[in-house]
Structure 1
Amino acid sequence: MFTVGLVVPLSGPEAVYGPSCVLCARLAAEELNEGSGVLAEPVRLRIVDGGRGPERVACEVERLVGNGEIDAVVGWHLSAVRQRLAPRLRARVPYVYTALYEGGETTPGVITIGETPEIQLHPGLRWMSEEIGVRDWFVVGNDYVWPRRSTATVRALVDDDRAGPTIGEADFVGLGTRDFGPVLDRISDSGSDGVLMMLVGHDSVRFNRQFAERGLEERCARFSPLMDESMLRDLGPAASTDVFTAAGWFEALPTAEGLGFGARYARRFGPEAPALGAPGESCYEGIRLLACLVHSAGTVDAQRVTELARCSDYHGPRGHVRIDGPATRQQIYMATADGVGLDVLASL
């Protein structure tokens, strides 16, 4: 048996992404098991709730690795969890981190495949400046590493682009914030015509509902790098006017690879399955990539697997992805909310 520790959020503000993450990983494992599995062993998932406190998650995964209960780790979870988990694993098993993140992860044994600010945030803001004239951005984000470092990165990038957008005020709030009144007051008093939302899951849903109740959508467009179809179902069309997002995959992406993946998901789990979005899809890609790398290496040795991954290419629902150290090169798409789905507007 080849056992993958699947670390995905089943609790906390980010739990909205968890159900589709689990099902997408299951789909990948089932497809592998229809063949020869991994190293001629059937693939099994051991699910770990990555939405709890980072130290608690890291301790549980470390225990599972130490007891020989898992052979690798794959998952979509917050960067705060990754920062605790990666050094605890100490490259004893391969660790495929699938979430969008702030960039710069170089811990041995870690393979990152998610979007980074250079290929997602900066092009997205530039597109909104050029296409719909939104230039002055107010940032609201959760108070942890991904929002803070990503904001710093994109601020430096736009500062070098004098004719492009500008990043103005920023406000970072704790995970689980329910009352966004003080932040909305600052946005209302600012001269910004755009709000960059670096908020996670249910926090983003609450913010957008309160934003709409204030009538601020008449003045400010909104852009989130982490707005997926599952969040839109919770948010509803009344609170999602002029919400834009960018990602490497959307359910409505009109490519053969993307549509084929969506069709397989629907056939396997039915019409009542959790909405399919980029976080879930990334878990599918993470499982399939891990299997490919282990097959090529002929071993599950973390050092050998990560050496192969360091400069490698693979194809999945997103199309062609190039892993280049701690970052990827992949096609990013711009989309806007359309009811309870996302309409792809352009490739960036």
Structure 2
Amino acid sequence: MDGSVVLRDSAELLVSGPDASVLRLVLLLPLSGPLGLTGPSGLSAAYLAASEVNAAGLGVELVPVDAGRAPGAVAAEARLLADAGLVDAFVGFHTSDVHRALDVALRERVPYVFTPPHEGGPRGDGVVLLGDEPARQLGPAVRWLSERLRLRRWALIGNDYIWPRSVHRAASRVVRALGADVVYERLVPFPWADGEAGFERLVEELRQVRAEAVLLSLVGRDLAVFNRVFSASRLAGRVVRLSGALEENVLLAGGGDDSGELYSAMRSFAGQGDERRIALAERHRAVFGPSGPVLDAYAEGCYDGVHLLVALAATGVLSARRAKAASERLLAGAGDPRSWACAPLGPPRTGGFLARADGLDLTVITRL
């Protein structure tokens, strides 16, 4: 079998029906809305993973579903596909309010791999989390920056939904444990209709409270607009910004940053020079060329999520009841190593990195 991949439309499946000869995976990606700028990266990486699996002799089909819509609409479509027995599993990244709706809709039905950073807490049977919760993702970065730059006055700014609220709670505990203070906290609607004018007001309020650092849990377009406004202000280069959602697509949308004080804490970055990242980039470039979508952290998560579902299928545990425990074993390196036979780069990495914006690039400065 060659490495070609069939992309199916969900409406087409309702007509054609199930196909037991292939493994059908639904890609739950933001193809519209404030996070839509990241969707093509995730789609291309999932396609790459599926092409590797198909080249190894198995059959995987992908069914893209726009997870940038309202949570109820996304959950309803996902549940319809699952209840009709048209698909085998779900994988992707999206906001946590969409994620929670999907958790309920897919519970005890089919496996669902959620790949990005998440807010923590319990999940239903069949839900597998690949990303980190806030204390693990951002706690080490807050400590590293606070200790080296002697930051004492932190501000917290995010969108008003589940993940940013969890980030604020975790960050407040970390900041206070360091003997520093949270001097400003704000959650704004998602997406924020006030746009640049609203963010200009926030930047002025940061100046008034004399913030030395800002932890940003804004996402997508809102994060890009905030950074663009901030870069044009007098605070640029004087106040540190740290984000847990800044990847290369959002950095580019915000016009880049040369302040030297914009940081991101993520699982990986496009320009990272370790052996696995270089190999993944070469494989991606071979399929999509030099002008393909950016291979950001969200994309790598989708790539790994597809291979994890294939590994579960290969060991006969691709079910809602068994997926979570089996995934924990596979990700920990336990179980049959042949499970990853179709994954040329093996299981996903663990841990994360801290990077600093350098124009339109994010340069890794330390492992977290």
8 Å CA contact 2:309, 2:318 repeated in 1: no
Bigger RCO (CA 8 Å, 6+ sep):
1
Provide the residue aligned with 2:352 in structure 1. Answer: 332
Is 1:255 aligned with 2:274?
Answer: yes
Provide the residue aligned with 2:324 in structure 1. Answer: 306
Normalized per residue, which structure has more strand?
1
How many aligned positions are there?
Answer: 334
Of 158, 171, 174, which aligns to 2:189?
Answer: 174
Looking at structure 2, the residues matched to 285 and 260 of structure 1 have their Cα atoms a distance apart, in angstroms, of: 14
Inter-CA distance 151–302: structure 2 relative to 1 (3 Å threshold): same
Inter-CA distance 320–127: structure 2 relative to 1 (3 Å threshold): farther
| Runs (5+) with no aligned partner, structure 2 | 1-21, 334-339
Provide the residue aligned with 2:223 in structure 1. Answer: 204
Of 230, 235, 240, which aligns to 1:216?
Answer: 235
Provide the residue aligned with 2:250 in structure 1. Answer: 231
Is 1:32 aligned with 2:53?
Answer: yes
Provide the residue aligned with 2:213 in structure 1. Answer: 194
Q: Could you tell me which amino acid in structure 2 is paired with residue 305 of structure 1?
A: A
How far 1:241 sits from its partner (Å)?
4.3
How far 1:136 sits from its partner (Å)?
1.8
8 Å CA contact 2:258, 2:357 repeated in 1: no
Provide the residue aligned with 1:270 in structure 2. Answer: 289
Looking at structure 2, the residues matched to 145 and 320 of structure 1 have their Cα atoms a distance apart, in angstroms, of: 29
SS in 2 for 1:74: strand
How far 1:240 sits from its partner (Å)?
5.8
8 Å CA contact 1:97, 1:110 repeated in 2: yes
8 Å CA contact 2:220, 2:250 repeated in 1: yes
8 Å CA contact 1:225, 1:246 repeated in 2: yes
Percent identity for Structure 1 against Structure 2? 35
SS in 1 for 2:63: strand
Q: Over aligned residues, Cα RMSD in angstroms?
A: 2.0
Looking at structure 2, the residues matched to 317 and 158 of structure 1 have their Cα atoms a distance apart, in angstroms, of: 41
How far 1:218 sits from its partner (Å)?
3.5
Looking at structure 2, the residues matched to 245 and 143 of structure 1 have their Cα atoms a distance apart, in angstroms, of: 20
How far 1:131 sits from its partner (Å)?
2.2
Looking at structure 1, the residues matched to 347 and 323 of structure 2 have their Cα atoms a distance apart, in angstroms, of: 20
| Runs (5+) with no aligned partner, structure 1 | 323-329
Inter-CA distance 90–331: structure 2 relative to 1 (3 Å threshold): closer
Higher Rg: 2
Residues 26-80 of structure 1 deviation map (CA, whole Å, 9 limit, x = unaligned): 000010111132xxxx101100101110111001111111122211000111110
Looking at structure 1, the residues matched to 259 and 87 of structure 2 have their Cα atoms a distance apart, in angstroms, of: 41
How far 1:83 sits from its partner (Å)?
0.6
Looking at structure 2, the residues matched to 347 and 6 of structure 1 have their Cα atoms a distance apart, in angstroms, of: 30
Is 1:87 aligned with 2:104?
Answer: yes
Is 1:71 aligned with 2:88?
Answer: yes
Is 1:295 aligned with 2:314?
Answer: yes
TM-score by length of 2: 0.86
SS in 1 for 2:87: coil
Looking at structure 2, the residues matched to 219 and 240 of structure 1 have their Cα atoms a distance apart, in angstroms, of: 8
How far 1:87 sits from its partner (Å)?
1.1
Q: Could you tell me which amino acid in structure 2 is paired with residue 218 of structure 1?
A: G
SS in 2 for 1:237: coil
Of 154, 160, 165, which aligns to 1:148?
Answer: 165
